[in-house]
Structure formats: C-alpha cells, structure tokens
C-alpha cells in the first residue's frame, strides 16, 4: 500500500506542477502559420527569448520553441560528435565553443543549452552574465516544454521537437532516477521511469511529432 501511495503522490506532483503552470495548447498548424507568415515577428520573439526575457507569455515561449521546427535551420537528426567528445572528456572550453556554434543554428535546443551552461560553469573567469543568460534560456525552454502537457497521459504528453530534448527533460528537468523501459503508445513515446522517492514506476508520455515528420 505504501508503494502504491508513493506512486500516486509522485503522479499527483506532476499533475500539480502542470496545474501550477499555464498549460498551452501546442497547435502546430497555427504555429507554422505564425512562423511562415510573420518571419520578422517570429525573429523578434526569438531574440527576446535568447536574452532571457521573462515577460514572454506561455504562448510566446511555445511559439519560439515549437516554431523552430518550421524554420530552414531545423535539423532534428543532426549529430554533434566533436562536441560529444569535448564535453565527455571534460574539455569544457572547446565544448562551450562548439555548443554555442550549435546554438547559433538551433537556439532553442535544450540539450545544447545544458551542455553550454555546464561547460561555462566549469571554466574559470567566465563572465557571470554569460552563465546567467544560458540559465535563463534553459528556464525558458523548460517552461515551454513543461507547459505543453501534464506528461502523464497519452492525451496530454510533453511535446518536444528533438529526441535529444526528450532525453534532457527526463534527465535534467524531471531528474528521473531510472529509465526502465520505453515503447510507443497511441503514437507517443511512453517511457517507464522510476522517480526519486517512489518504489513503483510511472509512465511519462512524449509527443515528438516534428522530428518524426522530418525523418519521413
């Protein structure tokens, strides 16, 4: 009974987290229309996003993050092998340069933002303003994703635009203790995880439609 209650509490925590935020209906058709019909407005929103403008509304954050999937720069399958090598070996100066080069093409990548942020914090003498800007970007991207759904039902999944971002949501935003299994349910990635403090697993759902569409 204790295990069941703990799992229910953790599921309720995710529900309450979603309820505490302003959940956004991520309408890809509408966002695509906004991006393609008003490119200058989208660029202006993106610039505000990049400097960590905390006055952006939930809808505006969603437009910037999900709107990137409708730009020529969108490349969800792109690999960053040089960055992987530098980051994993602790060569943080090189990793930061490579991560920033990646962010110039994909400014809303949660994965690249995290690697840039971690690298920056490991380099002595880095300007605090750079770290603050990266931290703000991380928070804005995280807000956009966590406001896209509750994540605990196929009807209300977390929406992401790359598989790398899905992995970062699990590891960094939600800090799952263990990934047990994954499958596809109703077209969604269903990831069975164990959360810290819960003995029984829970299933989290992700909609990664843009990346799958781009791959076809």
- Number of domains forming the structure of the chain: 1
Q: Do 103 and 112 form a contact (C-beta atoms < 8 A)? A: yes
Domain that residue 113 falls in: 2-215
Question: What is the tens place of the pLDDT at every residue in 54-64?
Answer: 899 999 999 99
The whole-angstrom separation of Cα 145 and Cα 19 is 14
Nearest residue to 142 via CA among 108, 103, 181, 186: 108
Please report the pLDDT score of residue 198 as a whole number: 75
Angle, to 10 degrees, between the axis of helix 110-121 and the axis of helix 128-146? 150
Give the Å distances, CA to CA, from 38 to 19, 76, 157, 180.
31, 23, 28, 43
pLDDT of residue 21: 65
Backbone angles phi, psi at 184, to 5 degrees: -115, 130
Positions in the chain short of pLDDT 70: 1-21, 214-216
Burial of 105 (0-12, 13-18, 19+ CB in 10 A): middle
183 and 195 in contact (C-beta within 8 Å)?
no
pTM of full prediction above 0.75: yes
Please report the pLDDT score of residue 5 as a whole number.
Answer: 30
User: Each residue of 12-69: pLDDT tens digit?
Assistant: 344 434 445 678 899 999 999 999 999 999 999 999 998 888 899 999 999 999 999 9
SS (H, E, C) 145-209: HHCCCCCCCCCCCEECCCHHHHHHHHHHHCCCCEEEEEEEECCEEEEEEECCCCCCCEEEEEECH
């Amino acid at each position: 009974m204790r295990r069941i209650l703990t799992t229910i509490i953790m599921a309720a925590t995710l529900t309450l987290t979603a309820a505490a935020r302003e959940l956004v209906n991520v309408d890809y058709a509408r966002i695509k229309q906004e991006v393609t019909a008003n490119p200058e407005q989208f660029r202006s929103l993106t610039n505000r996003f990049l400097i960590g403008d905390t006055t952006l509304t939930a809808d505006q954050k969603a437009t910037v993050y999900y709107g990137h999937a409708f730009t020529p720069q969108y490349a969800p399958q792109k690999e960053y092998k040089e960055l992987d090598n530098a980051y994993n070996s602790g060569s943080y100066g090189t990793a930061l340069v490579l991560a920033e080069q990646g962010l110039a093409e994909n400014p809303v990548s949660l994965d690249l933002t995290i690697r840039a942020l971690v690298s920056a914090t490991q380099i002595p003498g880095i300007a605090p303003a750079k770290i603050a800007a990266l931290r703000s970007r991380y928070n804005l991207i995280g807000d956009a994703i966590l406001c896209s759904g509750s994540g605990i039902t196929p009807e209300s999944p977390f929406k992401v635009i790359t598989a790398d971002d899905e992995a970062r949501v699990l590891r960094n935003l939600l800090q799952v203790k263990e990934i047990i299994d994954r499958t596809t349910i109703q077209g969604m990635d269903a990831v069975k995880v164990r959360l810290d403090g819960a003995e029984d697993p829970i299933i989290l759902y992700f909609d990664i439609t843009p990346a799958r569409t781009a791959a076809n």
